[in-house]
Amino acid sequence: MELMKIGILISGRGSNMTALVDAVQSGEIADAEVALVVSDKADAGGLAKAAERGIETVVIERRGRTRAEHDDEIAAALRERRIELVCLAGYMRLLSPGFIQLFPNRIMNIHPSLLPAFPGLDAQRQAVEHGVKVSGCTVHFVDEDLDAGPIILQRVVEVKDDDTEETLSARILGEEHAAYVEAVRLITSGHIAIEGRRTWVTKSNH
Ligand code: GRF
């Protein structure tokens, strides 16, 4: 059976990327291969972590070009390697409509809140400042709106009375890694159905 080729886009430390690569390499995510990690930042800490794991990396910086030009270059790198599934993992840019249309329902993202609450930057700080009692993380498909595409799965994390942005972020991050691995496993094994905004698991793959 052909392995499904995954490309991961990062901008920073890459802990979600590492969780996905490790799950593919251990066989927890079966029948898939992480074929490329793309960073838009040359100094992203995740680049070294990907290279250590034997994954090809490329840096494609924005450098004063338009969003569409930048995304075209990323898309070309992904298509050259026949990537079928694109995972955003701390990738800090909005993708252009042209890029999104190239991979229909094949771009995923992880966000550190229970969407649609607290989209955008600093979701964990927004949660602490708002005073919510639970937050968590969301894995979703990417569409043209920020942090708004169809939700694949969510995990809930308690917000404790003495939480700071840092302590809450750390607790959510642990759940992010598990949630992203689970969601990618469901996608690569063909167990996610989608209709409009709604997605569901078609049968258990345990
Ligand atoms: C994570 O909190 C993710 O949810 C958000 O950006 C952060 C990236 O962290 N989109 P890492 O680079 O995966 O460690």
pLDDT per residue as tens digits for the range 131-145 = 999 999 999 999 999
Predicted confidence band at 204 (pLDDT cuts at 50, 70, 90)?
A: low
Structure tokens at 185: 């496993």
Given a cut of 60, whether residue 205 has pLDDT beyond it is no
Tokens of 61: 């910086």
Average pLDDT (102-106) is 96
Model confidence band, residue 206 (pLDDT cutoffs 50, 70, 90): low
Mean pLDDT of the chain: 96
**The dihedral formed by the CA atoms of 7, 11, 17 and 21, expressed in degrees to the nearest 10:** 50
**Nearest CA owner, ligand 1 atom 5:** 90
Element at 198 (helix H, strand E): strand 198-201
State if residue 119 touches ligand 1 by the CB under 6 angstroms criterion: no
Are the C-beta atoms of residues 100 and 21 closer than 8 Å to each other? no
Please tell me if the CB atom of residue 21 comes closer than 6 angstroms to any atom of ligand 1.
Answer: no
Ligand 1 atom nearest residue 17's Cα:
13
Give the pLDDT mean for 111-132. Answer: 98
Task: Note the pLDDT tens digit of each residue in 22-60.
Answer: 999 999 999 999 999 999 999 999 999 999 999 999 999
111 catalytically annotated: yes
Q: 174, exposed or middle or buried, with CB in 10 Å at 0-12, 13-18, 19+?
A: middle
CA dihedral for 17, 23, 27, 29, sign (positive or negative): negative
Span 168-203, pLDDT tens digits: 999 999 999 999 999 999 999 999 999 999 999 998
For residue 113, the model assigns a pLDDT of: 98
Q: Minimal CA–CA distance to 61: which of 36, 43, 82, 76?
A: 43
Residues 178, 155 contacting (CB under 8 angstroms): yes
Res 203: pLDDT: 80
Instruction: Give the pLDDT score at 1.
Output: 74
**Percentage above 70 pLDDT, the chain:** 99
- Minimum CA distance residue for ligand 1 atom 10: 90
3-state helix, strand, coil in the chain (%, to 5): 35, 25, 40
Lookup: tokens for 46: 């995740």
Whole-number Å distance, alpha carbon 1 to ligand 1 midpoint, is 32
Residue 161 neighbours by CB under 8 Å, 6+ apart: none
Average of per-residue pLDDT across 84-111: 97
